Structure 1
Amino acid sequence: MIREASPDDIDELFELWRELLHYHQGHHAVFKYNPNQEHVLKSELLTRIKDKNTRVFGYMQHDEWVGMIITSFKEGVSGFKLSRKGLIAETVVKESHRGSGIGKELLEAARNWLEDMGADHIELQVSVKNESGLAFWQNQGFTPSTYHMILELKDAGKKK
């Protein structure tokens, strides 16, 4: 069953989000997080749940959160053909429930909300090392439009 998350769901949803974070640790430095800063990450997730232009949809099965999708709406520059952007930030389904259609149902909930908000397209990013994620999104009709590239700056955190 799909349900819109509320702030009261933060602990259970954070466990799902942490599973997603763990899965991506070996993909690239951009996905690495500091386990000693989980309170900061939990605060970020709570901020997203409370944001009026963001929805967090969860999939519940037997009173357990087994999937989640975070989606946002952003009004862009009207001079572009596609200016009313739907964004999918993160999607996770517990490993034991993958392949059961939960991801499709979560995407459908996000898509319906984004269409109600007036979005004219949906964008997302997926790790190039996440072969199953790439296959899932391509099977849902998503196609690449750009390459998101990263250059890690070694001295970026140091003040001059």
Structure 2
Amino acid sequence: MIREATLNDISELKDLMIKLLNHHQEFNVLYQIDFTHQNDIERFFSDIIFEQNVHVYVEEIENELAGFIICSRQIRPNYFEIKSKGRIDSLYIDSKFRNQNLASKLLKKALEYLKDETYIELEFTAKNQLANDFWINKGFEILNHQCILRQK
């Protein structure tokens, strides 16, 4: 069942976010977690659940969170012709719940919220071929490349 996240979900959301970040760090060193501050993840979710332009949707199966998606509406500066845009900030399905079409269902829910936005953006790691295939299959186009320089 897909529903909006509540404060009661914070602990499970934190655990899922840690799994997501662990997955990302396989591709990008910038996602390495400082576990001395992992409670900041709980504060992050506590804060965004109440933000007006942010929605956190969860997929719950047998009283367990199988995954989540964070989506938002962003107001842009007036000098842009397009005044707002949608954003998919995170999407994650726990490995034991994959291959059940849950990511597509969560994305559909997020797109319902963002239906008035002409453009919806997201970022994913270029080396993550599964993510690349998923987003391309859903109609997203790759427009930019993010680069980092690692200095010693």
Superposition TM-score, scaled by structure 1 size: 0.87
- 2:17 is the counterpart of 1:17: yes
Equivalent in the alignment of 2:68: 68
1-structure distance, mates of 2:37, 2:8: 21
Deviation (angstroms), 1:78: 5.2
- Give aligned-pair identity as a percent: 29
Equivalent in the alignment of 2:110: 110
- 2:51 is the counterpart of 1:51: yes
Structure 1 unaligned regions, length at least 5: 155-160
Equivalent in the alignment of 2:37: 37
2-structure distance, mates of 1:152, 1:73: 32
Q: Secondary structure at the match of 2:103?
A: helix
CA deviations over 1:59-84 (Å, ceiling 9, x no partner)? 01111100100011012245545432
Q: Secondary structure at the match of 1:107?
A: helix
Q: Secondary structure at the match of 2:14?
A: helix
Q: Secondary structure at the match of 2:38?
A: helix
CA deviations over 1:40-97 (Å, ceiling 9, x no partner)? 2221222122211100000011111001000110122455454321111110001122
Deviation (angstroms), 1:110: 0.4
Equivalent in the alignment of 2:89: 89
Superposition TM-score, scaled by structure 2 size: 0.92
Q: How many residues align?
A: 152
Is the 1:85–1:123 Cα contact (8 Å) retained in structure 2?
yes
Equivalent in the alignment of 1:27: 27
Structure 2 unaligned regions, length at least 5: none
